[in-house]
């Protein structure tokens, strides 16, 4: 099956914005939210008390979500991924990827299938999601996929990443690019991966993927989440980003009572979604030290075959790099 290319410009985002902002029936999406503020200059994000669920509550909501969709039919393998992010296909042998918010493995499958030399670490706050991911990876019958796939439970926005992913010494040495725990020549065999009994540091990763994950993080924890991503990347490493954009059709379907913050919504099942503008993404990543390589709206129009309605999807496509660090003489 050929990979679809979703990174396109079927319509202009500014034209959609004008249409939405001039529609009185959608005015509730544009209103300021009580007790909510975003102070980018101070690098702080504050949300309404309504959105301040505990990390445990967030994880449980996603556990229930993945239990309801346990057949795996709810998500499809993201075959477009290596077209949108060709760096994953052309990277050097034994490169390491950290897939954050792996869900049922729809992104992991595409990466493992597209590059047979990549080692993939995959985390999710939901243990149920991780079980689905492992099942789907095993069922896919991809060459050596199980040996290159390492799933682990983690809520990166609340607890941060474990030390075996990048230890304190490696974080410090990233500023000097020397004496790191990992070796560029290390084997891709799963025997080198850490386990519950082995806390050896792998020395960070070459890529981080955030594919429709950050929008599910409470607004007030997003800055820490991106800071954690920055910390586990090796100097020169890339963060590959795709998520919901402002005025995507799913945003416009939310009712006023489902708003829990500015551009932040909660579904009836307790899962949440935030809708990004280019500026909001740029502020988050700049504030943590990333360099922007690409950042654009991806505007895709399709037609619902059952009812003939036009569906306009808005996603944000971004690539960010952790700068190479130069040692001062």
Give the pLDDT mean for 187-212: 71
Give me the pLDDT at residue 186, please.
Answer: 42
Give me the pLDDT at residue 270, please.
Answer: 86
Nearest in space to 6 (alpha carbons), one of 275, 301, 295, 225: 301
Q: Which residues, in sequence order, are bridge partners of residue 44? A: 39
Nearest in space to 262 (alpha carbons), one of 63, 40, 54: 40
H helix intervals, the chain: 13-21, 55-68, 81-84, 87-90, 106-114, 127-140, 145-148, 168-173, 222-232, 249-252, 278-286
Crossing angle for the helix pair 127-140 and 55-68, to the nearest 10 degrees: 40
Query: What does the buried/exposed string (b/e) look like for 4-43 if buried means 16 or more CB atoms within 10 Å of the residue's CB?
Result: eebbeeebebeebeeebeeeeeeeebeeebeebebeeeee
Neighbouring CB atoms inside 10 A of 113's CB total: 16
Distance of CA 248 to the CA centre of its chain: 17
Give me the pLDDT at residue 193, please.
Answer: 56
Give me the pLDDT at residue 259, please.
Answer: 93
- Tens digit of each residue's pLDDT (9 = 90 or more) over 23-54: 999 999 999 887 654 433 333 444 444 455 66
- Both tokens assigned to 240: 């590959």
Q: Which residues, in sequence order, are bridge partners of residue 294? A: 319
Distance of CA 17 to the CA centre of its chain: 25
- Both tokens assigned to 217: 């993080």
Of 142-151, 221-230, 279-288, 293-302, where does mean pLDDT reach its minimum?
Answer: 142-151
Of 5-19, 139-153, 177-191, 250-264, where does mean pLDDT reach its minimum?
Answer: 177-191
Using the predicted structure, report yes or no on whether residue 298 has a pLDDT greater than 90: yes
Give me the pLDDT at residue 204, please.
Answer: 94
DSSP state of 4: P
- Return the residue matching tokens 């820490």: 224
- Tens digit of each residue's pLDDT (9 = 90 or more) over 47-68: 444 455 666 676 676 666 666 6
Distance of CA 238 to the CA centre of its chain: 13
- Tens digit of each residue's pLDDT (9 = 90 or more) over 146-194: 889 999 999 898 888 999 998 888 888 876 664 455 444 344 444 455 5
């Amino acid at each position: 099956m050929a990979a679809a290319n979703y990174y396109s410009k079927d319509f202009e985002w500014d034209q959609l914005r004008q249409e939405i902002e001039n529609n009185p029936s959608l005015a509730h999406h544009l209103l300021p939210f009580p007790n909510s503020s975003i102070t980018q200059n101070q690098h702080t994000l504050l949300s309404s008390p309504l959105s301040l669920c505990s990390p445990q509550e967030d994880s449980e909501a996603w556990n229930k979500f993945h239990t309801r969709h346990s057949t795996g039919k709810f998500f499809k393998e993201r075959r477009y991924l290596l077209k949108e992010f060709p760096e994953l296909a052309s990277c050097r042998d034994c490169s390491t990827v950290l897939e954050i918010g792996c869900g049922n493995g729809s992104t992991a499958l595409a990466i493992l299938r597209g590059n047979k030399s990549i080692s993939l670490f995959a985390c999710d706050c939901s243990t149920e999601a991780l079980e689905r991911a492992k099942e789907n990876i095993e069922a896919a019958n991809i060459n050596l996929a199980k040996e290159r796939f390492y799933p682990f439970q983690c809520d990166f926005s609340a607890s941060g990443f474990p030390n075996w992913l990048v230890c304190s010494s490696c974080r410090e040495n990233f500023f000097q690019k020397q004496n790191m725990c990992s070796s560029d020549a290390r084997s891709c065999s799963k025997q080198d991966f850490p386990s519950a009994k082995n806390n050896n540091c792998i020395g960070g990763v070459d890529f981080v993927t955030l594919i429709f994950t950050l929008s599910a993080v409470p607004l007030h924890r997003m800055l820490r989440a991106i800071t954690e991503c920055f910390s586990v990347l090796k100097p020169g490493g890339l963060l590959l980003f795709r998520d919901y954009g402002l005025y995507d059709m799913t945003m416009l379907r939310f009712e006023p009572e489902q708003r829990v913050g500015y551009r932040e919504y909660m579904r009836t099942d307790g899962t949440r979604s935030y809708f990004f503008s280019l500026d909001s993404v740029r502020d988050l990543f700049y504030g943590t030290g990333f360099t922007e390589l690409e950042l654009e709206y991806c505007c895709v129009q399709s037609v619902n075959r059952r009812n003939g309605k036009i569906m306009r999807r808005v996603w944000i496509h971004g690539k960010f790099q952790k700068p190479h660090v130069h040692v001062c003489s």
